[in-house]
Amino acid sequence: MNAPPLSPRIRNTFAAPIPTAKAWANRYDGRAGPTIDLTQAVPGYPTHPDLASRLAEGAASPVQARYGTIDGDESLREVLAADINRIYGGDVGAADVAITAGANLAFTMAMTVLCGVGDQVMLPVPWYFNNAMALSMQGLEALPLPCRAEDAFVPDPDRAAALITPRTRAIVLISPNNPTGAIYPPDVIARFAALCRSRGIWLIVDESYRDFLPETALPPHPLFKDPEWRDGLVHLYSFSKAYCVAGHRVGAMVCGPRVRTELNKVLDTMQICPPRGPLPGLTWAVDNLHEWKAGNRAIIAERARVFREGVGQLQDWHIDALGTYFAYIRIPEGERDAMAVGETLATECGLLSLVGPFFGPGQDRHLRLAFANVGLEAIAAVPDRLRALPR
C-alpha cells in the first residue's frame, strides 16, 4: 500500500534550527565543563514575583479558562495601545490591537491576510528563520535583501527599492534585530515606510526586543505619528522577552481597520482566542513594571559588555554585530564553514550556538550567540570555549 502524500510546502520547508542545534549537545561528554546554551533567545532571569502571582491566579481562574474574544481581552488591548502611544507619541487605540498566541503566530497570520500564494515578501538577510519558514509553509517566496557587516547589518532602503518586483507584497523589518542585534535608526525605518507607500506594498515592523533599547533610543521610529499609518503598517510585538513569559505565548499585532476586518477571520480560525490565563497579569504588568524592565535592560547591557570584552580580545574571532540579546560573530579565516564549526563547538567544546546558514543565504561564516540566556560566569567562559575549537 502506498503511503498518502504530505504537503509539499511543509516538506520543502527546512527543519527547525533550534532542535537541530540542541541535538548536537547530546554527543558532548562534558570535557570542557557544563554546556553553555546560547541557542534560543529566552530571558536568563525569572519574571517579577508579583507578575508570577498574577499568572498563577489567571491560570486558576474559571473565567480565564473559558473562551474569550478572538482578539484578546479589551483591558490588555487598551493598556498596550496606551503604552505604544506613550513610547511613540501615536494615536493607537484598542481597536487597532489584536492579542495573539505569540509574535510568531502574529507574523504567520499577518502573512495570511496580506499575501496570496506565489507572492514575495522581502526579508533582510540574515533573516529570522521562523519568518522564512512561515513564508515557505504558506507558498510565499522569501525575497532576500542582503545586509552587510560594514553597514552594521542595517538594511539599505535603496537596495531594497532595486529588488522589489511586481510580486512583492511586503517588506519585513525586525529591530532590534534577530539574529544580529542591530538597531535600525529611525530615519532608516521611515525611509522604508516611504518606499513601501510609494510602491503600494505593506511594511511589517517586528519590535519584539523593543523593551531592551536604551531610553536614549526611544522612540524607535516615527511611524505611529503618521496619521495614515493604518493604511500601510503592521506592527508586531511580543510579551515573551520583556516580561519573561515566553512559555505563556502572548504577542500582539497592531494594524488598521482594513487589515483587522480580514484578520478577524484568521484569528478565529488559527487561535480562536489567545491564551487567556496570562492576560490579566500582563494587563497589570504593562503599567506597573517600568522600573523592573529598566533593571532588566541594565542586566542585558552588562551581559553584552562582558561578552564584547571577552570575545573581542580573541585574535581570530570577530564580532560583526552585537545588541540586545545577540552577538553575530564571524568564524576565523581558513576555518571550516559555520555548519561544521557550530557542530564541533557543541559536541567537543560544550558551546551551543545557531549557525549562520539557519539565517539565510550567504551566512556560512557566522554564528549567532544569544548571550542574554545565561549569567556573567557563563558568558565569561565563552572565549575559552571558542579558543578550544579543534583546528
Q: What is the set of domains in the chain, with CATH numbers? A: 9-46+291-387 (3.90.1150.10), 50-288 (3.40.640.10)
* Assigned C-alpha cell, 378: 557563563
Question: What's the confidence (pLDDT) of residue 391?
Answer: 79
What pLDDT is recorded for position 217?
Answer: 87
pLDDT tens digits for 364-380?
A: 999 999 999 999 999 99
Q: Are 373 and 45 in contact (CB under 8 A)?
A: no
Q: How do residues 213-227 score in pLDDT, each as one tens digit?
A: 988 888 999 999 999
- 152 backbone dihedrals φ, ψ, rounded to 5°: 60, 25
Instruction: Give how far the C-alpha of residue 319 lies from the chain's centroid of Cα atoms, to the nearest Å.
Output: 20
Which three cell numbers, joined as nine digits, stand for 77?
488591548
> What pLDDT score was predicted for residue 216?
85
Report DSSP state, residue 70: T
Residue 301 pLDDT: 95
Phi, psi of 51 (to 5 degrees): -70, -40
Helix (H, G, I), strand (E, B) or coil at 50: helix
Q: Which residues of the chain have pLDDT under 50?
A: none
Contact 372, 37 (CB under 8 A): no
351-352 vs 36-37, strand pairing mode: parallel
CB atoms within 10 A of CB 89: 11
Angle at 142 (CA atoms; ends 140, 147), nearest 5 degrees: 165
